[in-house]
Amino acid sequence: MGATATQVRTDRPGTVRAGRPRPTRSVWAQMWRERWMYLFILPGFLYFVVFRYLPLLGNVAAFQDYSPYLGFSGSSWVGLTNFVNLFTDPDVAIALKNTLVISLLQIVFAFPAPILLALLLNSIMSCRVRRFVQSVVYLPHFIGWVILISLWQEILGGAGLVNQILQSFGAGPIDWMSNPETFKLLVVAQVIWKEIGWGPSSSWPRSPRSTRSCTRRWWSTAPTRGGASGTSRCPASSTSSCCC
């Protein structure tokens, strides 16, 4: 049977009754009915439009000889010249190489550092020492990069603390911060020093609820008799490193 404007309704087996045509609502009527839902969506929608989609219009600067003093309307159009310079400039290849090397060094050294720190802290039996170490390595995450570079400059710069110690022993100063040979290693070391306390924060043993004794217990997933995974807890008398 083809599509009809009537609705067939069955009240009980063997009884079929044709109902009235279902009224169709317009789109505007449905939007007005759900107006409060759209009102809740409006702030998020405006956020994405203003801060996500409208800034995409600034991509036209890639095809211009853009000057911030002239703006988009006053800057001259150069077509694909900027892209040609990008792929023909030898400095771009050097910058790309340095980026790949630094990324590889961070994967090798910076990625496992928080995991090793979490394992080290888990092996510390003294809760006071553990909390102290956690606080010390956790604080650098909240230091801005400008302040961090300034601190490293005061230590490893040309007139920094390390060079002053070397000069006191008769050695020549070494400007570690501006040396191209040590720059990549310093960047990785700065990332490790700043973020090593933030990475394993979810893996660290939490501080004990009681200040008198360390009562925190590690919960681990262990296979049950039926093969499914369950939870097991270290007993209070256990001397294993999984318990405080």
Q: How many domains would you assign to the chain?
A: 2
Choose one of 62, 88, 114: the last residue of a domain: 88
Least confident of 43-47, 52-56, 198-202: 198-202
* Closest C-alpha to 192, from 108, 124, 123: 108
So what's the pLDDT on residue 241?
A: 42
- CA nearest 133: which of 121, 123, 141, 142? 121
Q: Is 14 left (phi over 0), alpha (psi -120 to 50) or beta?
A: left
The C-alpha torsion from 41 through 44 and 46 to 52, rounded to 10°, is -140
Per-residue pLDDT tens digits for 143-182 = 899 999 999 988 888 888 888 888 888 887 788 888 888 8
Give pTM, 2 decimals.
0.56
CATH number at residue 189: 1.10.3720.10
Task: Using alpha carbons, list the distances in angstroms from residue 204 to 45, 122, 208.
Answer: 38, 7, 12
Domain that holds residue 184: 93-202
Domain identity same for 148 and 198? yes
pLDDT at 218: 39
Q: 205 in the Ramachandran plot: left (φ > 0), alpha (ψ -120 to 50) or beta? A: beta
Domain end marker among 88, 105, 120: 88
* SS3 of residue 80 by DSSP: coil
Q: How much is the average pLDDT of 191-208? A: 69
Count of CB atoms within 10 A of residue 80's CB?
Answer: 10
Residues 198 and 148 in one domain: yes
Taking Cα atoms as reference points, which of 75, 50, 45 lies closest to residue 60?
75
User: Does residue 239 lie in a domain region?
Assistant: no
Interval 127-146: pLDDT, tens: 888 888 888 888 888 989 99
Say yes or no: 115 and 73 in one domain.
Answer: no
Last residue of a domain, one of 88, 119, 135: 88
Does 6 fall in a domain?
no
Q: Flag whether pLDDT at 215 surpasses 50.
A: no
Q: Residues 179, 137: one domain?
A: yes
